Amino acid sequence: MYWHCFIWSSRRQLINISAPNATLHYFPSFLSQSQAYEFFETFQQSLQWRQDDIKVYGRQVKIPRLQAWYGDDELSYTYSGLTMKALPWTKALEAIKTQVEQATGYQFNACLANLYRDGNDTVGWHSDDEPELGEQPVIASVSLGAERDFQLKHKSLSEKLTISLKSGSLLTMSGETQNAWQHCLPRTKRVKSPRINLTFRRVFQ
Ligand SMILES: O=C(O)CCC(=O)C(=O)O
Helix (H) or strand (E) holding 145, with range, is strand 139-145
Mutate to test the pocket of ligand 1, among 54, 84, 123 (most ligand atoms within 8 A of CB): 123
Mean pLDDT (whole number) for 188-202: 98
Mutate to test the pocket of ligand 1, among 24, 66, 84, 114 (most ligand atoms within 8 A of CB): 114
Which protein residue has the closest C-alpha to ligand 1 atom 2? 197
Q: Report pLDDT for 22.
A: 98
For residues 203 and 132, the answer to whether their CB atoms sit within 8 Å is yes
For residues 92 and 43, the answer to whether their CB atoms sit within 8 Å is yes
Which one is predicted more confidently, 79 or 92? 92
- Among 2.60.120.590, 2.40.30.200, 1.10.150.130, 3.40.50.300, name the CATH number for the domain at 4-185+193-201: 2.60.120.590
Could you tell me the distance, in angstroms and rounded to a whole number, from the CA of residue 152 to the centre of ligand 1? 11
Q: Assess whether pLDDT exceeds 90 at residue 9.
A: no
For the chain, the domains span 4-185+193-201
Q: Apex CA 49: angle with CA 114 and CA 57, to 5°? A: 65
pLDDT, tens only, 103-120: 999 999 999 999 999 999
Residues with CB under 6 A from ligand 1: 112, 114, 123, 128, 141, 150, 165, 183, 185, 197, 199
pLDDT, tens only, 166-187: 999 999 999 999 999 999 999 9
pLDDT, tens only, 39-76: 999 999 999 999 998 878 888 899 999 999 999 987 88
Q: Report pLDDT for 55.
A: 78
Q: Apex CA 149: angle with CA 83 and CA 55, to 5°? A: 25
CA quadruple 174, 178, 179, 181: dihedral sign: positive
Could you tell me the distance, in angstroms and rounded to a whole number, from the CA of residue 30 to the centre of ligand 1? 17
Atom of ligand 1 nearest to the CA of 150: 3
Query: Where residue 11 falls among pLDDT bands split at 50, 70, 90?
Result: low
For residues 156 and 127, the answer to whether their CB atoms sit within 8 Å is no
Which protein residue has the closest C-alpha to ligand 1 atom 1? 197
Alpha-helix residue ranges (DSSP H) falling in the chain: 33-46, 91-104, 177-180
Adjacent-strand bridge partners of 54: 61
Average pLDDT of every residue of the chain = 92
